[in-house]
């Protein structure tokens, strides 16, 4: 028998019991006359004890041979500790050993297996099995497991079927780049790994399955930005005979259920905001609503003063930082440097201090007298003690810059508490996005998204203005997921492909299967997909998803543990009818 109990289980009520435990040696403290071993498994840590004179010399000698991460089985008697450790669930007891059996030795690990490890990222990824032994990662994966289980519980209760869709599918040019897999049986032909099961879930609706979900891996060969994984997991869902309202209600319900179950938090009903409002008030389609600071536009109040920057600007817009009028020159210079960073790209920052004595001082006093500044302050609804931070320039770019500044101010003022959750739905996204470079429209969500019925006439006259029945779930400024009501009419779908620059032939080649399915009674349908890695990280209060995935890839898309991607044997290449023309080093 390897164990009677786990290492996280014993309590004072077990005092006096003979027990057997198995686990890894976390730490040995040898005080000469007394020797302690912390024994660890997935469930916790139990302190083991040996005492000179009480324990046999042989046993003590055996214990002194052990090293960190050795795997042992021990037997002993549970005993009340004289100095208890309230931090540890097993901290009231220790086990006085009568035998130790070595099950396996271990090399000295390259970093410490502690909550705060000394290992760098790359090293931890190379030895992921050691990293995964650490508490924080174990807790992350436990949370992930719980969320997956509760997601299944909720969706099952709501009548959803969990159905698997294939991983070897067909490459489509839309969206991100595909990962492709050569087919040995069909030389020169390739499968693609799915960027999402989108078309399959829609076909399941045509097949009459009514409500589908899958916790599913998706693959996107995008240029890797920080904290993007080439493979990631979605909670993917689709429903038939629903309006947008039904979808929002179902998944708002799910998110609230998950917060309740795993965090014991009632996040309350979600706020709703349409895309146009989100962009106007926050310069972002995923506003962080844990704090206010909405944008205030003053373009009409600043003209004809001789201040060329404002005179020429399409948009002059700012935020009000309450109680910040005493920001020092140094702080304001730092904010100016912040908005001037190339990633943000503003030319400069104008500020107005509404001083405690009621007077107004600005960085543009040369051009604006106090009376004019007061009209700005009025628009901002500012009070003595407040600070106004103002940017100007082309409307879209300026809003994006101010969004960054708003978030930075939120950080500086401690308004973005990771344990506070503020969810919202952003709705009415534009259907299409114009790309100057390729001179064509792209689907903002994907080509299967339905336009708002009242906007359909605009498809002919002003496609850029058409709004979609598309929505995003946003929590704390993070896009947790998105979806839409789909097109279920073959003709409309055809028109959409046309707008996206597909010839009839191309549309038929790429999506013929879906168009054909639509000829056999496609029900009205819609759905959503939530990023499962991101949702888990967010609920845990973290930004980065990497430590919520058991075996993630690094920022260069490499799996450091198995050292992949890697070359394959010439024989494999031959079998696949592939030839490496050039290997870039």
Task: List contacts with ligand ASP (CB under 6 A).
Answer: 196, 198, 482-484, 527-529
Q: Which is nearer to ligand ASP, 388 or 487 (CB)?
A: 487
Rounded CA-CA distance 523/515 in Å is 13
> 479 or 489, CB closer to ligand ASP?
479
Cβ-count burial of 93 within 10 angstroms (0-12 exposed, 13-18 middle, 19+ buried)?
A: buried
Vertex 149 angle, CA 144 and 154, to 5°: 125
Which tokens hold the place of 251? 């998944």
- Considering the complex, state which of residue 139 and residue 243 has its C-beta at the smaller distance from ligand ASP: 243
Tokens encoding 55:
């324990």
Written as one string, the DSSP assignment of 110-171 is SS--SSS----HHHHHHTHHHHTTSHHHHHHHHHHHHHHHHHHHHHHHTT-EE----SSB--
Nearest residue (CB) to ligand ASP, 137 versus 529: 529
**In the block, residue with structure tokens 């013929």:** 512
Query: How would you classify the pairing of strands 387-393 and 423-427?
Result: unpaired
Q: Which residues, in sequence order, are CB contacts of 163 under 8 Å at separation 6+?
A: 204, 209, 212, 213, 214
Between 480 and 528, name the residue whose CB sits nearer to ligand ASP: 528
Q: At closest approach, how far in Å is the CB of 296 from ligand ASP?
A: 33
- My answer on whether omega of the bond before 500 falls inside 30° of 0, hence cis, is no
Contacts of 405 (CB under 8 A, 6+ apart): 319, 335, 338, 339, 344, 346, 349, 389, 391
Count of beta carbons in the 10 Å neighbourhood of residue 468: 22
CA 264 → CA 257, 259, 419, distances in Å? Answer: 9, 6, 12
Q: How far is the CB of 250 from ligand ASP (least distance, A)?
A: 13
Nearer to ligand ASP, 92 or 285 (CB): 285
Q: Is 30 helix (H, G, I), strand (E, B) or coil?
A: strand
Per DSSP, what are the bridge partners of residue 161? 212
From the centroid of its chain, how far is CA 385? 37
- Minimum CB separation of residue 493 from ligand ASP in Å reads 15
Q: Which residue lies nearer to ligand ASP by CB, 313 or 426?
A: 426
Contact 44, 88 (CB under 8 A): yes
Shortest distance in whole angstroms from residue 528 CB to ligand ASP: 5
Smallest distance from ligand ASP to CB 285, Å: 14
Tokens 């003022």 -> residue: 413
Comparison of 60 and 474: residue with beta carbon closer to ligand ASP = 474
Helix ranges restricted to H, 413-503: 458-461, 490-499
Task: Give the separation between CA 300 and CA 316, rounded to whole angstroms.
Answer: 8
Q: How far is the CB of 486 from ligand ASP (least distance, A)?
A: 8
Tokens of 485: 């009501």
Q: In 353-486, which residue ranges form alpha helices assigned H by DSSP?
A: 370-380, 395-412, 458-461
What is the smallest separation between the CB atom of 527 and ligand ASP, expressed in angstroms?
4
**How distant is the alpha carbon of residue 550 from its chain centre?**
15
Shortest spacing between CB 85 and ligand ASP, in angstroms = 47
Phi, psi for 323 (deg, rounded to 5): 70, 20
CB of 218 to ligand ASP, least distance (A): 7
Of the pair 44, 482, the CB lying nearest ligand ASP is at: 482
Number of C-beta neighbours around residue 191 at 10 A: 18
Measured from the CB atom, the residue of 319 and 473 that comes closer to ligand ASP is: 473
CB of 481 to ligand ASP, least distance (A): 7
Shortest spacing between CB 216 and ligand ASP, in angstroms: 10
The distance of closest approach from Cβ of residue 560 to ligand ASP in the complex, given in angstroms and rounded to an integer, is: 27
Q: Which is nearer to ligand ASP, 239 or 373 (CB)?
A: 239
d(CA 486, CA 523): 10
Backbone CA torsion sign across 446, 451, 455, 456: positive
User: Which CB, 36 or 209, lies closer to ligand ASP?
Assistant: 209
């Amino acid at each position: 028998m390897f164990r009677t109990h786990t290492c996280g289980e014993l309590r004072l009520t077990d005092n006096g019991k003979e027990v057997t435990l198995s686990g890894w040696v976390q730490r040995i403290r040898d005080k000469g006359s007394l020797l302690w071993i912390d024994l660890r498994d997935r469930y916790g840590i139990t302190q083991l004890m040996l005492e000179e004179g009480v324990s046999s010399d042989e046993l003590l000698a055996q214990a002194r041979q052990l090293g960190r991460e050795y795997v042992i089985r021990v037997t002993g008697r549970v005993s009340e500790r004289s100095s208890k450790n309230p931090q540890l669930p097993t901290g009231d007891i220790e086990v006085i050993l009568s035998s130790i059996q070595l099950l396996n030795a271990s090399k000295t690990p390259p970093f410490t297996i502690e909550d705060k490890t000394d290992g760098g990222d790359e090293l931890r990824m190379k030895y992921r099995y050691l990293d995964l032994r650490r508490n924080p990662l174990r807790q992350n994966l436990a949370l992930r497991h719980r969320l997956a289980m509760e997601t299944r519980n909720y969706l099952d209760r709501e009548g959803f079927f969990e159905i698997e869709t294939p991983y070897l599918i067909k490459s489509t040019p839309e969206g991100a780049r595909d990962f492709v897999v050569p087919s040995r049986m069909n030389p020169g032909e390739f499968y693609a790994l799915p960027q999402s099961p989108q078309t399959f879930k829609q076909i399941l609706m045509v097949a009459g399955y009514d409500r589908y979900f899958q916790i599913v891996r998706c693959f996107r060969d995008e240029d890797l930005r920080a904290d993007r994984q080439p493979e990631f997991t979605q909670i993917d869902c689709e429903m038939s005979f629903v309006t947008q309202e039904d979808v929002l209600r179902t998944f708002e319900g799910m998110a609230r259920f998950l917060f309740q179950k795993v965090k014991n938090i009632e996040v309350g009903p979600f706020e709703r905001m349409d895309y146009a409002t989100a962009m106007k008030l926050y310069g972002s389609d995923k506003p962080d609503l844990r704090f206010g600071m909405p944008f205030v536009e003053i373009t009409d109040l600043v003209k004809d003063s001789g201040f060329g920057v404002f005179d020429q600007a399409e948009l002059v817009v700012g935020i009000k930082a309450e109680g910040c009028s005493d920001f020092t020159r140094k702080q304001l210079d730092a904010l100016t440097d912040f908005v001037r960073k190339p990633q943000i790209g503003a030319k400069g920052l104008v500020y107005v201090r509404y001083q405690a004595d009621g007077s107004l001082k600005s960085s543009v006093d040369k051009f604006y007298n106090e009376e004019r500044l007061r009209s700005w302050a009025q628009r901002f609804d500012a009070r003595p003690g407040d600070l106004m931070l103002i940017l100007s320039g082309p409307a879209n770019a300026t809003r994006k810059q101010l969004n960054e500044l708003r978030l930075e101010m939120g950080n500086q003022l401690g308004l973005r508490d990771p344990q506070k959750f503020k969810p919202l739905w952003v709705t009415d996204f534009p259907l299409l996005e114009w790309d100057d470079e390729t001179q064509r429209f792209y689907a903002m969500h994907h080509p299967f998204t339905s336009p708002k019925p009242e906007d359909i006439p605009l498809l002919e006259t002003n496609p850029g203005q058409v709004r979609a029945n598309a929505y995003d779930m946003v929590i704390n400024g993070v896009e947790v997921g998105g979806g839409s009501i789909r097109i279920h009419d073959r003709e409309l779908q055809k028109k959409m492909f046309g707008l996206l620059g597909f010839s009839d032939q191309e549309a038929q080649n790429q999506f013929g299967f879906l168009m054909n399915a639509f000829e056999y009674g496609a029900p009205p349908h819609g759905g959503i997909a939530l990023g499962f890695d991101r949702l888990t990280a967010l609920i845990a209060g973290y930004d980065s998803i990497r430590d919520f995935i058991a075996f993630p890839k690094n920022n260069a898309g490499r799996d450091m543990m198995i050292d992949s991607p890697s070359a394959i044997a010439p024989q494999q290449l031959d079998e696949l009818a592939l030839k490496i023309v050039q290997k870039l080093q």
